[in-house]
Amino acid sequence: MSTDARIESSGGRRALYIVVPVYNEAPNLERLFEGLRAAAREAAELDVSVVLVDDGSADGTPDLARALAEDLELTVLTHGTNRGPGYAFGTAFAHLASRVRPHDLVVTMEGDNTSRTELIGKMLRRAEEGHDAVFASPYAYGGGILHTRASRVVLSHIANAFVKEFIGVHGILTVSSFFRLYRGSSLLRLQESYGERVVERDGFESMVELVMKMAYLQMSISEVPMVLDGTRRVGKSKMSTRRTVVGYLSLFGRKRAWQRRSAKYPPS
């Protein structure tokens, strides 16, 4: 269905799609689904659906997720091999391309419980102020970082500095977090400009790629504070420091191409 057709048929209850990429997260799923059910209850005025993208897990993550979903509407998309979080998000965005309507909402988040699902309600309310996207930020006033590997904190600072100084995107405190809310209309604009998958990069740098593309489309991004607490996660972070730094550097070479693409789709 075309974007114009979806605008014409966008009546009825709004949908909230919660996108969760997972890779060997079986130990974290019970707590994750408890949080998702609580978020769905708080957003009772919306039709809540969870889109879980399993990125080649070998620990039974997909089957356990289906067993834990209970009354949640759950779609499980699977990759035969591990492709990376950016590829997983691209799979979810492509899945939503024919489903999401301009007035719907899309949340993306980590599957290891470091994304605080209790913040989804606050992010929804902030989006109602007219922002294209809302990011949960440990660097916003009231946020913080606890019990997290120093290398991950350093990578976050590198990403922020890289985006501000080399890419020319300013005014955003957190550019690498998965935990975000997008308006359906914003996702549709990104897809119109950059294709159904939206992101090209397969790794963790894909989150910075998305910020760049949103900035080039002159989208409005707001942030809400979040405390990032590593003790909420069972197991280790899947992020590779070396690979992620190389990924950040690779984005610079795509800057002009993405700017040219966005220039074809100016703000309406």
The predicted pLDDT at position 5 comes to: 46
Predicted TM-score of the model (pTM): 0.90
Give one word for 147, left, alpha or beta, with left for phi > 0 and alpha for psi -120 to 50.
left
DSSP 111: S
The residues near 162 (Cβ < 8 Å, ≥ 6 apart) are 208, 248, 249, 251
- Spatial contact of 225 and 119, defined as CB atoms under 8 Å apart: no
DSSP state of 205: T
pLDDT of 200 reads 95
Cβ atoms within 10 Å of 228's Cβ, excluding its own: 25
Provide the 10 A C-beta neighbour count for residue 203.
20
What pLDDT, on the 0 to 100 scale, is given for residue 237? 65
pLDDT at 151: 67
- Predicted local distance difference test score (pLDDT) of residue 4: 45
Give the model's pLDDT for residue 51: 99
Spatial distance between the Cα atoms of 10 and 7, rounded to a whole number of angstroms: 5
pLDDT along the chain (268 residues), means of 10: 46 92 96 97 97 98 97 97 97 98 98 93 97 94 76 71 74 88 98 97 93 93 89 67 81 88 79
Q: Are 65 and 89 in contact (CB under 8 A)?
A: no
Please tell us whether the domain made up of 3-258 is placed in CATH 3.90.550.10: yes
What pLDDT sits at residue 233? 64
Q: In the structure encoding, which two tokens stand for residue 89, read together?
A: 């998000």
